[in-house]
Amino acid sequence: MAHPPEHIGAAVSGGSDSLALLLGLKTAFCNRGVKISVATVNHGLRSEAAAEADAVARFAAELGFEHSVLTWDHVRRIGNLQGQARDARFNLLSHWAQQRKIPIVALGHTADDQAETVLMRMRREAGVNGLAGIPERRTVGGVEFRRPLLSLRRHELREVLRAEGIGWIDDPSNENDQFERVRTRKALAVLESIGVSPTVFASVAENLTQARKALEWYSFLAAREVLDVQFGAVVICRRAFRVLPVEIAHRLLAASIQWLTGGEYVPRRKAMVDAREVVKLGGGHTVAGCRILIKDEQAWLFRELNALRNCAVPLGQPWDARWLVYGGVADNYQVRALADEGLRDCTNWRDLGCPREVLHATPAIWDEDQLIAAPVAGFENGWNAALTRSEEALYTSFLTH
């Protein structure tokens, strides 16, 4: 890093990868006036976690670094617990970094982690984005997470630690075949015996990263020609959409859904294939809490009303995490979906040129069962509504920053 910031964070679990990361950060930056702070996330999933965090704190203190323990106060959930823990880890680290004005947090992922990720995604028949693997950079909550060790093997890092007389913590779950990543790691050992090493997977991931960046650029250009934002919905020019290459069309739809819902992850590819066919050929479709409505040569993509039935917030709070309603003051008013019962009171909505189904899913101000205003549907009554994610944000979302 030619011009490092004044303050860098490091996520350290106590495993060999993250300890080697911390040692590398000290070597690279401590003589350049860069402050380094360390955080360990305790997910509360293992009884040993607290003691392991204490061990990291002692090691950080030996190096002269401030250390924090971030605890995940979770309710036991069913489903993908590892995925939930990963999301919580990023959110905790992002909040920690924001509090300390740390712009960059370093993570200890290696070429071995990259290979495991790519192989697991191959099993799921992932596309270019998935097979590009773990990105070198990722931004969460305005904090940039970087992975400087992605080109290095785990055994290389352990050799460095052994040479320095530094021990590390082995997580026993890394030997538990219940987890897909553990099974994948063992499969990689077999593949390496025939020359398909983690380094090979990492190189393939880098090649696909370059392909992904090219696709992102052409998707960005296509989006400006094909997509438009009206009444909070994404309007797709079907004539232009039909002639797009399949991958570009897929990306336009996926990014539009993410822009509408605020979701981080794209729906499964089968769901996206079905949605793409509806836009091209006609019909109706719902996907990921959104609805596709065909009107002549336009396809309207907007929030599904059923996904918003229980979405009600007091004034001053974002509605559906994407609309802000402002203008009047009344403590007892609520913001809810306009729906059909509200649209009946909007006498001029047909003059707007917007399908009624789209307006149903826009914000309205209610006093119990009485409609006070529906600013998107032309019944302002002194109120306004604005999107928290702009049209420009939709276009720039195609580019990796």
Q: Determine the angle formed by the axes of helices 246-261 and 198-226, rounding to 10 degrees.
A: 80
Q: Which two tokens stand for residue 329?
A: 């003051």
Lowest mean pLDDT among 74-83, 184-193, 340-349: 74-83
The answer to whether residue 226 sits within a structural domain is no
Task: Determine whether the annotation assigns residue 256 to a binding site.
Answer: no
Task: Determine whether the annotation assigns residue 15 to a binding site.
Answer: yes
Mean pLDDT of the chain: 90
Of 259, 275, 303, which residue is a domain's last? 303
pLDDT tens, position by position, 351-373:
999 999 999 999 999 999 999 99
The answer to whether residue 216 sits within a structural domain is no
Of 303, 323, 354, which residue is a domain's last? 303
Farthest-apart Cα atoms in the chain, separation: 78
Task: Determine whether the annotation assigns residue 16 to a binding site.
Answer: yes
Model confidence at 142: pLDDT above 70: yes
Of 285, 303, 321, which residue is a domain's last? 303
In a 3-state reduction of DSSP, which class is residue 230? strand
78 pLDDT band, cuts 50/70/90, is low
Task: Determine whether the annotation assigns residue 94 to a binding site.
Answer: no
**What residues form DSSP beta bridges with 139?**
144
Task: Determine whether the annotation assigns residue 193 to a binding site.
Answer: no
Q: Are 35 and 76 in contact (CB under 8 A)?
A: no
Task: Determine whether the annotation assigns residue 173 to a binding site.
Answer: no
Q: What's the number of domains the chain is made of?
A: 3
- Global model pTM greater than 0.85: no
pLDDT tens, position by position, 258-314:
999 988 777 887 888 999 999 999 988 899 999 999 999 999 999 999 999 899 998
The answer to whether residue 11 sits within a structural domain is yes
Residue numbers of the domain that contains 11: 7-202
**Per-residue pLDDT, 70:** 92
Model confidence at 231: pLDDT above 90: yes
Task: Please give the angle made by the CA atoms of 127, 130 and 136, to the nearest 5 degrees.
Answer: 140
181 pLDDT band, cuts 50/70/90, is confident
Tell whether 235 and 193 lie within a shared domain: no
CATH number, residue 165: 3.40.50.620
Of residues 79 and 17, more confidently modeled: 17
